[in-house]
Structure 1
Amino acid sequence: DVKVSVIVTTHNLARYLGDCLDSVASQDFEDWECIIIDDASEDDPHSVVKEHWNSKFHFQRSPENLKLPGARNFGFQQAKGRYIIFLDADDMLAEHALMLLSEALDADPNIHIAAGHLDTVSEDGSNRTRNSWPFTEYSWYGQMAHLNQISYSSMMRREVMERTGGYRDRHWRAEDAPLWIAATSFGFRAKKITEASTLIYRNRNDSKSKGEPGDGDWTSWFPWRMGFATHTRDAFQLAQSERHPRADLVPWGAQGLPQDLRFWYVPDYTEPLVSVVIPVGEGHEKYVIDALDSLVAQTFQNWEAIVVNATGKLWADGFDSPVAGAPWAKVVNAATKLKPAGARNLGAEYASGNAILWLDADDLLLPHALEEMVSLYLGTGGLIYTSQLHSDGDLSTPLALWEVPEFKCGAVLQQMWHSMMCLVPREAHIKSGGFDISLPGWEDWDYLIALQAGGLCSYKTDQPTFVYRMHTGSLREQSFSIREELHPIIIEKWIDYHEGKKHMPCSKCPGGRKAALQQKGNPAPQMSNGSPDEMILLEYQGTRMGKVLIRGPVTNTYYTFQKGQQKFVMRSDADILLSRTKKGISDFAIVAHEPKPQAAPAFTRPPVLEKAVDPIFPSMPVASVEDMTVSVLEGSIGEADDRTIIEWLRQEREGKQRKGALKILEAEMNGRA
């Protein structure tokens, strides 16, 4: 039982480590331990630790080069302290740091992260100077505007790391800033408790931060941010905005107080519209937190997450769990090891949403994904699929666009049309019988054929909505390696369609259209775009003085008015509010004014390569046109893809040269041109 754990991480910084350890050992505070993590250094930090040895030092080597976020998390897993403070090996604790920060946490249980000021020194440790940053007090709005408010070496209660899941491996730049966002957005409180310096930061020309191209857009995974600013002056302007641009997305536990509301929205997700099912196989445990974080990053929030542990092994609890930092995720443990198809079927059994989104553990949704897909789903009732961005694994490099084709009824018989990251009506999934786990491979392709055979229409979104990590799994390659075995199995299962005895019942699918989104909440956050059809400008002229909180009778949205104030109100609420009168005078009057559009969701798209890449999906070998009669060709041509038509035309011109067949093929080619 120790009060403070100081976690020192070092990677090739042994030349500075002695100063760092001396600054810890010389503190005027006794109740501490120091965990020193050697993150695959090529120098010799262990000899430095022995030279500066203290019985409270604990030296540990990481199993591999974890990089700074991973090394800090690894250090936390070894720590026993009630309070945690991180310290890089080239920096030092200032005098009295542990005493000042721990006493503040002891004194006020409402403070979860205690920060002090910062001094800098030159690379050789000389020229100690008081820095102009951090600011006087922690501003949640500033943090959400890309203005980091406190140093990485602030002291936090242990539960901050446990509940947030700690650092994310993907945050390879400014790793502390998004941690402070997550913590202070989900119920924890940060405070600068002293103007005394508690950290001495060493300015090095070869430091990690100096070698990085800026600090990155570390607010991009939080859709309730104030916006993205490329310059500090712009960030200050965002932080001082009169109102939050997306108050409907701010977590109700956020440290910042709403400017024009009594409280942040408190959503009610007891009846989610979308159930996101994420199967996690062996080796993918380290990726699933990114997939879950990409759900939190959505601009549409009425979803539930069902994580299927398909490894056949129980996961650890607490911080060691793959879903640490996502306590809202529903974890389903498979009794035995499952392939993705079986894991998806199992997850669907626990789904309560109207629709199911299949999301692989190693893939990431872009922030607008659910808003795009759900809008199209509500307007069509069909399967919603999407193009994707293709990553070779390094999310810091530009991504390739995999553009998938528009839906064509029956074409799925010849080729899998899109990835399994798609939105499917839950009833359609149940009707299809789910994924066929008896197949030795390509269960995804078979599943999409079954959905179309059941009459489900498909619709493609306008934009790519997710990032596909190409080289993190092996099942895809395994299926391709046995394609000669799989082709006849798939054909035999759907032989009536291949022979033209049956036709896909999706030839009369209505056109795709989007519907307006409305999230359920208490009060309900709205996804309105501010169009005249949805909102109307009202002026409050009632008798009540001061701020008046009025609940929308239809949408359950709360509106705050003062006498004479004008605000946009959802039209369905406005119709009833206008009918309310006292002594024959209405509380509200319509203002003849065109509504101003609500701020668009602020997110930054990842860099994308200019040239798109053709996606690689399983497909049937091209059949020989010479084996077909002209009538069979005519019945099959509508369900063939462009690749097949080109091949058939080549075969016919070089082979039988039947006039009827050539006429059909050339007409089809001209029609598709």
Structure 2
Amino acid sequence: MWRGNGVKCSIVITTYNYGRYIQCALDSAIGQTYDNTEIVVIDDGSQDNSAELIKPYVDRYGVKYVYQENAGQTVAKNRGVRESSGEVIAFLDADDMWDSTKLEKMIPLFDNPDVAVVYSKRRLLDPDGAISEYNHPPLYRGRILNRIYVDNFICFSSSMVRRTSLELIGGFDETLSMGIDYDLWIRMAQAYEFDFLDECLTYYRVGHGNMSDNREKRILSAFNIMKRHLRDKKIRRGLAVPAILEAWGMTCCTYAMFQKSRQKSAKAAGLMLASLAMYPISTRSWKAALRMVLPDKVISLLKYLVKPGEKTC
């Protein structure tokens, strides 16, 4: 097994003005029960007290700290890969944390030489550290190109990659500023197998920062990534038409609901019609369409009439 062979795991943490959380991330990395590790922190030009907070970890635990002028998350993550040396790379965002057994439990999945990416389930953390459960979508292993094209269900901070595979597909695309993990997983899924551990080993922080402000940019980035990969002959050959239609239909549905929240009803209606035309069997899209056309009082009544325990729209 890989642990018996002493495989080295590089923990790569990139940070930008996350002084509030960086020590929690570092503590969870240092506290791993798997001990053949190195920790590399790439500070992408933080203007807060991150450097001061990281310094004790450099002095005491030998954490490798690299400061660079702000260049964006893709450049920072690629820099982290270059500065590291492990056969396996585990990514951890600076505002997230791990269970102490994460690496020990997941590294053996790389015993399968065809597997290039492994990941796990997650729990959610609020800005103050309160933990809540996450209603996971289905997770997939093996050749997952069609499923990952439809939905990026992988929590990035739970992911670990085989270095040789990551380098062969070219690392993170530095022309992108958003959706960089979605793009990476599609490219890796075209060539390699994925696997997952059916345990919550990652704590993913939500409800802070400017993520909500960037929602439209993230949706448009997803459209752009999907379109780019349809132009890639190798990836296009591996994608089934139903998966393509589902991916575009679901993304149109998401964008329609965003436009509706911005009171842009005409644009929302056009997007919802496109969603239903491309993927008419989606329960989610039909529910969203009803929410767009029915008065709020009717929606509230329908929710009241739903049986206890049954999911509503």
Fold conserved between structures, TM > 0.5: yes
What does the per-residue CA deviation read over 1:259-285, in whole Å, with 9 as the maximum and x for residues that have no partner?
A: xxxxxxxxxxxxxxxxxxxxxxxxxxx
Separation in 2 of the partners of 1:81 and 1:71? 17
1:211 aligns with 2:208: no
Describe the shift of the 1:23–1:176 C-alpha distance in structure 2 as closer, same or farther (beyond 3 A).
same
Once the 2 structures are TM-superposed, how far is the Cα of residue 208 of structure 1 from its aligned partner?
A: 4.1
1:129 aligns with 2:136: no
Provide the residue aligned with 1:202 in structure 2: 205
Q: Counterpart of 2:47 in 1: which secondary structure?
A: coil
1:97 aligns with 2:108: no
Provide the residue aligned with 1:113 in structure 2: 117
Separation in 1 of the partners of 2:38 and 2:108? 17
Q: Is the 8 A contact 1:134 1:151 kept in 2?
A: no
* Identity across the alignment (%): 24
Separation in 1 of the partners of 2:81 and 2:213? 26
Number of positions where the alignment pairs a residue of Structure 1 with one of Structure 2: 234
Once the 2 structures are TM-superposed, how far is the Cα of residue 231 of structure 1 from its aligned partner?
A: 2.3
- Which is richer in helix? 2
Once the 2 structures are TM-superposed, how far is the Cα of residue 159 of structure 1 from its aligned partner?
A: 1.5
Separation in 1 of the partners of 2:40 and 2:214? 26
1:13 aligns with 2:18: yes
Provide the residue aligned with 1:220 in structure 2: 227
The one of 185, 189, 201 equivalent to 1:184 is 189
Provide the residue aligned with 2:55 in structure 1: 50
Alignment of 1:392-403 (within 5 A): none
Separation in 2 of the partners of 1:205 and 1:211? 12
Alignment of 1:509-548 (within 5 A): none
What does the per-residue CA deviation read over 1:354-396, in whole Å, with 9 as the maximum and x for residues that have no partner?
A: xxxxxxxxxxxxxxxxxxxxxxxxxxxxxxxxxxxxxxxxxxx
What does the per-residue CA deviation read over 1:57-86, in whole Å, with 9 as the maximum and x for residues that have no partner?
A: 100012x21111110001111010000111
Separation in 2 of the partners of 1:118 and 1:222? 28
Alignment of 1:19-34 (within 5 A): 19-34=24-39
Provide the residue aligned with 2:257 in structure 1: none
Alignment of 1:428-447 (within 5 A): none
Provide the residue aligned with 2:303 in structure 1: none
Once the 2 structures are TM-superposed, how far is the Cα of residue 140 of structure 1 from its aligned partner?
A: 2.3
- Normalising to structure 2: TM-score of the pair? 0.68
The one of 60, 66, 72 equivalent to 2:66 is 60
Describe the shift of the 1:198–1:30 C-alpha distance in structure 2 as closer, same or farther (beyond 3 A).
same
Q: Is the 8 A contact 1:118 1:134 kept in 2?
A: no
- Normalising to structure 1: TM-score of the pair? 0.33
Counterpart residue identity of residue 167, structure 1: F
Once the 2 structures are TM-superposed, how far is the Cα of residue 17 of structure 1 from its aligned partner?
A: 0.4
Counterpart residue identity of residue 136, structure 1: L
Alignment of 1:465-484 (within 5 A): none
Once the 2 structures are TM-superposed, how far is the Cα of residue 210 of structure 1 from its aligned partner?
A: 5.3
Q: Is the 8 A contact 2:109 2:195 kept in 1?
A: no
Once the 2 structures are TM-superposed, how far is the Cα of residue 172 of structure 1 from its aligned partner?
A: 1.4
Counterpart residue identity of residue 221, structure 1: R
Separation in 1 of the partners of 2:210 and 2:31? 25
Separation in 2 of the partners of 1:198 and 1:160? 23
Counterpart residue identity of residue 133, structure 2: R
Q: Counterpart of 1:13 in 2: which secondary structure?
A: coil
Once the 2 structures are TM-superposed, how far is the Cα of residue 130 of structure 1 from its aligned partner?
A: 2.3
Describe the shift of the 1:111–1:125 C-alpha distance in structure 2 as closer, same or farther (beyond 3 A).
same
Describe the shift of the 1:100–1:204 C-alpha distance in structure 2 as closer, same or farther (beyond 3 A).
same
The one of 19, 36, 46 equivalent to 1:41 is 46
Q: Is the 8 A contact 1:117 1:134 kept in 2?
A: no
Alignment of 1:310-325 (within 5 A): none
Q: Is the 8 A contact 1:35 1:58 kept in 2?
A: yes
Alignment of 1:36-435 (within 5 A): 36-53=41-58, 54-62=60-68, 64-105=69-110, 107-126=111-130, 128-138=131-141, 139-145=144-150, 147-153=151-157, 154-185=159-190, 187-192=191-196, 194-208=197-211, 211-213=214-216, 214-215=218-219, 216=221, 217=223, 218-223=225-230, 224=236, 226-227=244-245, 228-229=248-249, 230-231=252-253
Separation in 1 of the partners of 2:20 and 2:208? 15
Counterpart residue identity of residue 220, structure 1: K
Describe the shift of the 1:188–1:33 C-alpha distance in structure 2 as closer, same or farther (beyond 3 A).
same
What does the per-residue CA deviation read over 1:495-540, in whole Å, with 9 as the maximum and x for residues that have no partner?
A: xxxxxxxxxxxxxxxxxxxxxxxxxxxxxxxxxxxxxxxxxxxxxx
What does the per-residue CA deviation read over 1:278-324, in whole Å, with 9 as the maximum and x for residues that have no partner?
A: xxxxxxxxxxxxxxxxxxxxxxxxxxxxxxxxxxxxxxxxxxxxxxx
Separation in 2 of the partners of 1:60 and 1:29? 24
Counterpart residue identity of residue 172, structure 2: Y
Once the 2 structures are TM-superposed, how far is the Cα of residue 7 of structure 1 from its aligned partner?
A: 0.6
Separation in 2 of the partners of 1:122 and 1:180? 26
Separation in 2 of the partners of 1:210 and 1:190? 32
Separation in 1 of the partners of 2:126 and 2:78? 28
Counterpart residue identity of residue 60, structure 1: V
Q: Is the 8 A contact 2:14 2:76 kept in 1?
A: yes
Separation in 1 of the partners of 2:137 and 2:52? 35
Once the 2 structures are TM-superposed, how far is the Cα of residue 169 of structure 1 from its aligned partner?
A: 2.1
Separation in 1 of the partners of 2:21 and 2:56? 13
Separation in 1 of the partners of 2:121 and 2:194? 14
Provide the residue aligned with 1:398 in structure 2: none
Once the 2 structures are TM-superposed, how far is the Cα of residue 142 of structure 1 from its aligned partner?
A: 2.0
Separation in 1 of the partners of 2:82 and 2:137? 28
What does the per-residue CA deviation read over 1:556-609, in whole Å, with 9 as the maximum and x for residues that have no partner?
A: xxxxxxxxxxxxxxxxxxxxxxxxxxxxxxxxxxxxxxxxxxxxxxxxxxxxxx
Runs of 4 or more off by more than 6 Å in structure 1?
Answer: none
Provide the residue aligned with 2:3 in structure 1: none
Q: Is the 8 A contact 1:32 1:56 kept in 2?
A: no
Separation in 2 of the partners of 1:124 and 1:15? 10
Once the 2 structures are TM-superposed, how far is the Cα of residue 134 of structure 1 from its aligned partner?
A: 4.8
Q: Counterpart of 2:156 in 1: which secondary structure?
A: coil
Describe the shift of the 1:2–1:102 C-alpha distance in structure 2 as closer, same or farther (beyond 3 A).
closer
What does the per-residue CA deviation read over 1:466-499, in whole Å, with 9 as the maximum and x for residues that have no partner?
A: xxxxxxxxxxxxxxxxxxxxxxxxxxxxxxxxxx
Counterpart residue identity of residue 43, structure 1: D
Describe the shift of the 1:10–1:48 C-alpha distance in structure 2 as closer, same or farther (beyond 3 A).
same
Q: Is the 8 A contact 2:16 2:45 kept in 1?
A: yes
Q: Counterpart of 1:184 in 2: which secondary structure?
A: helix
Separation in 1 of the partners of 2:82 and 2:211? 24
Once the 2 structures are TM-superposed, how far is the Cα of residue 55 of structure 1 from its aligned partner?
A: 2.5
Provide the residue aligned with 2:294 in structure 1: none
Counterpart residue identity of residue 39, structure 1: D
What does the per-residue CA deviation read over 1:179-202, in whole Å, with 9 as the maximum and x for residues that have no partner?
A: 0000111x211122x111122111
Describe the shift of the 1:81–1:209 C-alpha distance in structure 2 as closer, same or farther (beyond 3 A).
farther
Query: Where do 5+ consecutive residues of structure 1 fail to align?
Result: 242-673
